[in-house]
Amino acid sequence: MVLKAEIHSHLEGTASPALVRKLADRHGMTLPDSLFTNKDSFRWTTFLEFLKAYDMASAVIRTPEDYRDVTYDYLKRCAEEDAIYVEVMSSPDHAAMAGMAYQDHLDGIVQGITDATNDFGIEGRIIVTCVRHLGPDQAEKVALQTVAAPHPLVVGFGMGGDENAHHPSDFAWAFNIAHEAGLLCNVHAGEMAGPESVIAALDHLPVKRIGHGVRSIEDPDLVKRLIEEDITLEVCPGSNIALGVFPDFNNHSFLKLRKAGVKVTLNSDDAPYFETSIGREYLIAREHFGLSDDELLNLTRTSIENSFADQKTKLKLLARLQST
Confirm or reject binding of residue 269 to Zn ion (CB under 5 A). yes
Name every residue whose Cβ is closer than 8 Å to that of residue 295 and which is 6 or more positions away in sequence. Answer: none
Which one of the spans 138-146, 196-204, 253-261, 263-271 is the region binding Zn ion (CB under 5 A)? 263-271
In angstroms, give the least distance from the CB of 303 to Zn ion. Answer: 15
Catalytic residue (one of 81, 87, 191, 281): 191
| Residue 264 backbone class (left: φ over 0; alpha: ψ -120 to 50; beta: rest) | beta
Which one of the spans 132-140, 176-184, 265-273, 296-304 is the region binding Zn ion (CB under 5 A)? 265-273
3-state secondary structure of 11: helix
Chain residues 95-134 in contact with Zn ion, contact rule CB under 5 A: none
Q: Are residues 75 and 124 in contact, defined by beta-carbon separation less than 8 angstroms?
A: yes
In angstroms, give the least distance from the CB of 26 to Zn ion. Answer: 27
Type of residue at 163: E
Residue 191 designated active-site: yes
Tell which residue, 264, 172, 184, has the closest CA to residue 226: 264
In angstroms, give the least distance from the CB of 8 to Zn ion. Answer: 6
In angstroms, give the least distance from the CB of 243 to Zn ion. Answer: 10
Type of residue at 118: N
The separation between CA 7 and the C-alpha centre of its own chain, rounded to angstroms, equals 6
3-state secondary structure of 10: strand
Confirm or reject binding of residue 234 to Zn ion (CB under 5 A). no
Cross-strand pairs, 9: 88, 269
Of 269 and 281, the one with the shorter C-beta distance to Zn ion is 269
3-state secondary structure of 25: helix
Of 107 and 269, the one with the shorter C-beta distance to Zn ion is 269
In angstroms, give the least distance from the CB of 220 to Zn ion. Answer: 25
Which one of the spans 118-126, 257-265, 267-275, 305-313 is the region binding Zn ion (CB under 5 A)? 267-275
Q: Name the H helices within 121-212.
A: 136-148, 172-180, 195-204
Q: Are residues 234 and 213 in contact, defined by beta-carbon separation less than 8 angstroms?
A: yes
Of 64 and 216, the one with the shorter C-beta distance to Zn ion is 216
Of 163 and 269, the one with the shorter C-beta distance to Zn ion is 269
Of 91 and 297, the one with the shorter C-beta distance to Zn ion is 91
Query: Taking CB positions, which residue lies at the least distance from Zn ion?
Result: 269
**Which residues are known catalytic residues?**
191
Binding residues (CB under 5 A) for Zn ion: these are 269
